Amino acid sequence: MKKEIEIFISKEWPALLTDKNDYELLDTGGRERLERFGKYTFVRPYSDAVWERTLSNEEWNKADGKFWSTKEGAKGGWNMTHKVEFKWEMSYKDIKFLASPTPFRHLGFFPEQVSHWDFIENTIKNAGRPIKFLNLFGYTGVASLFALRAGAEVTHLDASKQTLDWAKENQNVAGLDKLPMRVIEDDAIKFLEREEKRGNKYDAIIMDPPKFGRGPNGEVWKIEEMLPKLLSAVRKVLSDKPLFVILTSYAIDSSSLSLGYALEAMMKDFGGDVQAGELCILEKSNNRIISLANTAVWSV
């Protein structure tokens, strides 16, 4: 594994300001972040922002809504100061998808993952062979859309039926509904164990396991206990010539190097290389690079 910590960042979001559906990280500070999602701006918690804001309070107060964390002593959840649609269209590099405020402070996608979306699409396009792509803990499926457009046969898995309905809706909004994407509601490890027995193999896998969760039948997921088991199960469904594996975590407090070492051990029989680092967004107010998640990528 490369010893330095990589900065995974795409500067494409600020470069697409002619697109009304674009995203911007406008400012950070005071343990919060100010962001634009299409035509709306929101304030969300960001506990790492222990510095002062760059923009004025007046700019921050123009936000259409704010998510309050229960840690702040207030009633948790969204407080909208202006009328906000239930869902609206966003786009990145001509892939359309839907955004919506959720009870968990997210808006249906993670903007810092655009560098992974670019990597997924470009790597699959350049593979020169058919690729079977598996998106574990796939959420609303934006990464799956870029794999689909690149020509992969996609399997998209999540334990939440509501989230999977959103993923299907995104596929339709993107105009990719005629392309091959299996959408499956299941517990990740149970699914992998069944796929191993069936002899089903995948060339490219992306996974973003949560800190805590429950499967469709009440299965309990705790990342500290389950990550080694997950990686072992993933290893058993890899094809003989895997293209890449991406592991991302918003839940592990340790360095991204931990993810990198775990992925390196899992992929030791395949050669290739592992990059470990941080998923970041460029802040518009003063060009700071803001880290939002840990990640590790293995590729040939």
> Does residue 4 form part of some domain?
no
> Does residue 1 form part of some domain?
no
Sequence-distant (≥ 6) Cβ neighbours of residue 73 within 8 angstroms: none
Indicate the pTM of the whole model.
0.94
pLDDT of residue 255: 83
Domain interval for residue 287 = 91-99+105-299
In total, how many domains does the chain have?
2
Pair 48, 20 in one domain: yes
CA atoms within 13 Å, Cβ hemisphere of 102 = 14
pLDDT of residue 2: 80
Residue 139 falls in which region: left (phi positive, over 0), alpha (psi -120 to 50) or beta: left
| Rounded average pLDDT per 10-residue block, the chain, 300 residues | 89 59 90 96 96 98 93 77 96 95 95 96 98 97 98 96 97 97 95 98 94 67 80 98 95 81 96 96 93 96
pLDDT of residue 10: 84
- Distance CA(278)–CA(43), nearest Å, equals 22
pLDDT of residue 92: 93
pLDDT of residue 24: 92
Pair 68, 40 in one domain: yes
**Both tokens of residue 283?**
């802040």
End-to-end Cα, the chain, rounded Å: 12
pLDDT of residue 212: 65
- Distance CA(272)–CA(278), nearest Å, equals 20
pLDDT of residue 184: 98
Pair 220, 286 in one domain: yes
Pair 147, 74 in one domain: no
